[in-house]
Amino acid sequence: MNDPRLDRREALKCLSAWSATAVVWTLSGGVPSALGATGSGPTASAGSGDLTFVQISDTHIGFRRDANPDVVGSLRRAIADIHALPQRPAFVVHTGDVSHLSKPEEFGSARELLAEIKVDRVHTVPGEHDTIDDGVAGYLKFFDHDGKGRAWYSFDQGGAHFVGLTNTLNFKAGTMASLGDEQLAWLKADLSGRARSTPVVVLAHIPMWTIWEPWGWGTSDAAQAMELLRPFGSVTVLNGHIHQVMQKVEGNVSLHTAMSLAYPLPAPGAAGIGEPGPVKVPESELGKLLGTRQVSIVRGKTELAMIDRSLDR
């Protein structure tokens, strides 16, 4: 890159032009930071040696109601946006609710659509809409990433360690969802022995912090996972589920929710709205509330660079 100031200006220009659909994450030298989009600190820009990927979420393939009669069209618009990025992302992550009703035909259709994205891989984690009837079994028939017959996994890329978690199982009546002891034990083993300087990026559908408990917008045993993650110098948690961008920073851990590609949901506990059901907005507004996130891990930065872009901007 020539002039970092120019890069930043360019990044901000892109940001203002794109406003809210996708977030681009860049990892450089293993440390994620947001490209101009989030946070109040100086923004970073992705260089050629950085790792950039895209987060999409909550496609709800199979949903056909008024809040968005064409979720396939919305996903295809997001795919076009991803292809238009100046820097080809290394991969795409989908943070859950791939399908609306966990039906095989929905998973099949989603898998075909995601295969249209010109990236090496699409990593997914299941949402609660993907685990309705038979837990994670139906989802795994289409999205068993490591062939181990379970929905959680990890991989290393660009100097960072990526962990995909499943926090839509272990549902107990009257409580928020949880990761469960088996998965927490796996996470502990997965992280043990890794250099604390390794940037960790966690993918999970439901927010890993409690945003609004009456709506189940949180993970009941997230604290136990955070205990395992906190020793690392850079931890970025990418969530979906609430169909809107929110973030929280706790020391070295930053947590971010993303927009949906299906329909908006109300703000947490919004006055006068007693439940987190799909919100019907005027057709001209829908595209401003759906979007993607570009993420980059920039060398020398501890924060990932993110840009949330809406489909309409």
Partner 1 sequence: MTTRTFRAVRLAPCVTLCAAALGAMLALSPGRAAEPTTKTVDIAKFAFVPREITVEPGTRLRWTNHDETPHTVTSQDGRKVLASPGMDVGDQYEFVFATEGDFAYFCTVHPMMTGVVHVRKSAGKAS
CA–CA gap between residue 208 and residue 210 (Å, rounded): 7
Closest CA to 89 of 51, 144, 63: 51
The tokens describing 104, both together, are 């095989």
CB of 64 to partner 1, least distance (A): 10
The tokens describing 193, both together, are 């022995």
Is 177 a binder of partner 1 (CB under 8 A)? yes
Nearer to partner 1, 155 or 171 (CB): 171
Closest CA to 73 of 265, 283, 264, 261: 261
Burial of 284 (0-12, 13-18, 19+ CB in 10 A): exposed
CA–CA gap between residue 294 and residue 308 (Å, rounded): 6
Selected binder of partner 1 within 17, 133, 193, 272 (CB under 8 A): 133
> Interaction with partner 1 in 255-284: which residues (CB under 8 A)?
274-278
Selected binder of partner 1 within 77, 94, 123, 129 (CB under 8 A): 129
Nearer to partner 1, 59 or 302 (CB): 59
Nearer to partner 1, 156 or 213 (CB): 213
Nearer to partner 1, 91 or 263 (CB): 263
Nearer to partner 1, 62 or 158 (CB): 62
CA–CA gap between residue 241 and residue 257 (Å, rounded): 8
CB of 142 to partner 1, least distance (A): 17
Selected binder of partner 1 within 102, 166, 167, 219 (CB under 8 A): 102
Nearer to partner 1, 47 or 216 (CB): 216
CA–CA gap between residue 77 and residue 9 (Å, rounded): 26
Reduced to 3 states (helix: H, G, I; strand: E, B; else coil), residue 17 is helix
Selected binder of partner 1 within 87, 171, 224, 247 (CB under 8 A): 171
CB of 112 to partner 1, least distance (A): 22
Q: Which stretch binds partner 1 (CB under 8 A): 23-31, 75-83, 109-117, 173-181?
A: 173-181
> Interaction with partner 1 in 36-75: which residues (CB under 8 A)?
63, 65, 67
Nearer to partner 1, 49 or 214 (CB): 214
269: amino acid identity, one letter: G
Reduced to 3 states (helix: H, G, I; strand: E, B; else coil), residue 213 is helix
CB of 175 to partner 1, least distance (A): 6
User: Measured between alpha carbons, how far is residue 13 from residues 70, 157, 291, 310 in Å?
Assistant: 30, 29, 18, 15
Nearer to partner 1, 125 or 297 (CB): 125
CA–CA gap between residue 174 and residue 296 (Å, rounded): 38
CA–CA gap between residue 92 and residue 122 (Å, rounded): 5
> Interaction with partner 1 in 185-224: which residues (CB under 8 A)?
213-216
CB 115, CB 55: distance < 8 Å: no
Give the binding site for partner 1 (CB under 8 A). 63, 65, 67, 100-102, 128-129, 132-133, 171-177, 213-216, 274-278
